[in-house]
A and B are shown apart, each in its own frame.
Chain A
């Protein structure tokens, strides 16, 4: 009986925090993508890097695709960042175009770790990983992922529920 009560108590912060955060501070669901013209900063750094080496090899590393590729990877890494979900990006919040939205209470991170541990041990959950990965590879195309990234609430919360079950 007490296990059920405890399970219920733990479910509230896990399932309610992110939706509550969206309800109180609604996302704008902007449709802009990462394919926008280079900013002044991006252009400055890019042109400096290009000018520092005159060899042809540099084009292999620094070419027209570099700026967009960097934006994509930056967004992708935000999606796989634990601190994004549990610490609102702390201790490095200084990322433009990424929201610092509160998503889960920080102490629930332990349930995610336990959930991942339980999920990787069981092959039947493989499809969840692939779908999550696919979502994580599509979302970085958005310039502002806030709101769109809520889709990850479902697999992450599911993993955390698995984690809670591991303990109880």
Chain B
């Protein structure tokens, strides 16, 4: 690769770093409960060797009963050792994974297609891909899993040059398998087909030792988790979300439902228009792909259907393989177009767009490059508005903004504090922002016997964190004790404040002026007096 291409590659990566790292600790505004749960469990493991429930080095993190994949948590530990536990340091792992993904996506496409332009355009598109950016800027395990999957695919194709890469492929594939729920389906299926396709190379007598080493390494990494495969914990996500589960009702036959969900992952309306309906899985005004990419995507689809040149055979095979398999786990779940579960699909679909652009550039050369540069600048502006302006304004509620501010108001309170948990569990954020001593928290809170960690699905939503209790506010009793009550505008409204002589202490509002949290102090003496005198309102 000559200097010109290296320079372009570095410039693209710098752009990728800007979109992924700039203002990372502040945007998205807020810190979602899953992010906080990943963070606090990493902190708890770092401090005590146990998770929030007191389980030593778990293979799956029980958390909210969703049994989170463990790799993100364990990789956070060295980051916390260096930077401490903050919103930025929790998200930075995902951002780093996003950059490593870009790097390996480039080499994967370059090595398979032997087309350096195609590889550069692919990662340029991934750099400005809203689908890739959102999961690189938030603490979700899916981006980490995609990074390991891409490394494993790159290493698998490098194996033809050097057999030792097979060991790396196996190790990375095993880590991808452990990193996110979707990869438990995607990784085995992709590698099963790749193994069948490359069986002559892999099972060659010269490679037997390497093959055995690779398989042993892969199995050693995933074996402990495989032992848990039949437990309710391992299957919890599947049971609660799968359209094939008896718990999930569908308006159509299960096969039709699956087909409709599956086709939506290839539908331009979803890819270029609607995107993910989840407010934390998309940006306002941005679909997974930018609208101008649609004609190039269609050109890529046509290329996919056409007869294959020998040099395009490998890349076409990989695109089809990833396109067919990646949406399967997401289509089994009830959510329409779940971009988080189908994240690996971003790679083959982006290569298709890149192919269309590459053909366009081959035909129009200079004008083509000017057009592409113009579109790149336009897209960067569009991304800037959606990611750094609109998302915080329109989606701050979804990222649970205001909690850090609220905790700042109550953490030094001497009176017992009751935080209402009727409409959401915010205990993980409280643990995170107060940096509660994990050993104390483990001691004061009980949910299950540790022997039933992966088996018992019962939950205890009431928590005690220092002098903060998380439970439903019970106004009939709580108003007669000296307490600080914290809740949203529904749990503590104006009428209740007057009726129960509550003393307002603080209000946390969003940018529209809507109350997110309200803190009040009870006033038992006044309330009792009022009750005696049979007065209806204190103020």
Contacts and interface: CB of A to CB of B under 8 A. Distances in A.
Interface string B455-475: 000000000000000000000
Interface stretch (A1-9, A21-29, A114-122, A157-165): A114-122
A82 B263 contact: yes
A149 to B, nearest CB: 14
B26 interface: no
A124 interface: no
A30 interface: no
Interface stretch (A10-18, A33-41, A49-57): A49-57
B269 A81 contact: yes
A81 B302 contact: no
Interface stretch (B157-165, B178-186, B252-260): B252-260
B307 interface: yes
A131 interface: no
A147 B256 CA distance: 25
A78 interface: yes
Contacts of B382: 61
B309 to A, nearest CB: 14
A128 B272 CA distance: 24
Given A53-B389, A58-B385, A60-B381, A106 B272 contact: no
Contacts of A121: 305-307
Nearest to B285: A49
Given A73-B273, A77-B272, A83-B269, A106 B256 contact: yes
Q: Is the interface of A mostly helix, strand, loop or mixed?
A: helix
Given A53-B385, A53-B389, A91 B269 contact: no
Contacts of A31: none
Contacts of A120: 302, 305-306
B441 interface: no
Given A49-B390, A92-B274, A80 B268 contact: yes
Contacts of A60: 378, 381
Interface in A113-144: 116-117, 120-121
B518 to A, nearest CB: 25
A68 interface: no
Contact of B260 (A74, A90, A117): A90
A53 B285 CA distance: 15
Nearest to A62: B385
Contact of A87 (B260, B266, B273): B260
B201 interface: no
Interface string A89-116: 0111000000000000011010000001
A60 B381 CA distance: 9
A52 B307 contact: no
A90 B252 contact: yes
A64 interface: no
B261 interface: yes
A77 B305 contact: no
Contacts of A84: 269
A92 B268 contact: no
B231 interface: no
A61 to B, nearest CB: 6
Contacts of B273: 73-74, 77
Given A53-B389, A58-B385, A92-B277, A81 B260 contact: no
B337 interface: yes
B397 interface: no
B228 to A, nearest CB: 31
B260 A48 contact: no
Given A80-B269, A91-B336, A48 B393 contact: yes
Contacts of A77: 268-269, 272-274
B256 A87 contact: yes
B268 A81 contact: yes
A148 interface: no
Nearest to B382: A61
A86 interface: yes
Contacts of B336: 91-92
A107 B389 CA distance: 43
A84 B393 CA distance: 32
Given A78-B269, A82-B267, A61 B337 contact: no
Contacts of A106: 256, 259-260
Contacts of A61: 381-382, 385
Nearest to A51: B393
A60 B385 CA distance: 12
A83 B260 contact: yes
B270 interface: yes
A62 B260 CA distance: 34
Nearest to B266: A82
B381 A86 contact: no
A131 to B, nearest CB: 16
Interface in B254-299: 256-257, 259-261, 263-264, 266-270, 272-274, 277, 285, 291
A87 to B, nearest CB: 4
Nearest to B256: A106
Contacts of B277: 92
Contacts of A80: 267-269
- 9 nearest CB pairs, A to B: A91-B336, A81-B269, A87-B260, A77-B269, A77-B273, A120-B305, A80-B268, A117-B305, A90-B260
Given A73-B273, A83-B264, 9 more contacts: A52-B390, A53-B389, A57-B381, A91-B264, A91-B337, A92-B264, A92-B270, A116-B305, A120-B306
28 contacts: A52-B385, A52-B390, A57-B381, A58-B385, A60-B378, A73-B273, A73-B291, A77-B268, A77-B273, A77-B274, A80-B268, A80-B269, A81-B268, A82-B263, A82-B266, A83-B267, A86-B259, A86-B263, A87-B256, A90-B260, A91-B336, A92-B270, A92-B336, A106-B256, A106-B259, A109-B263, A116-B305, A120-B306
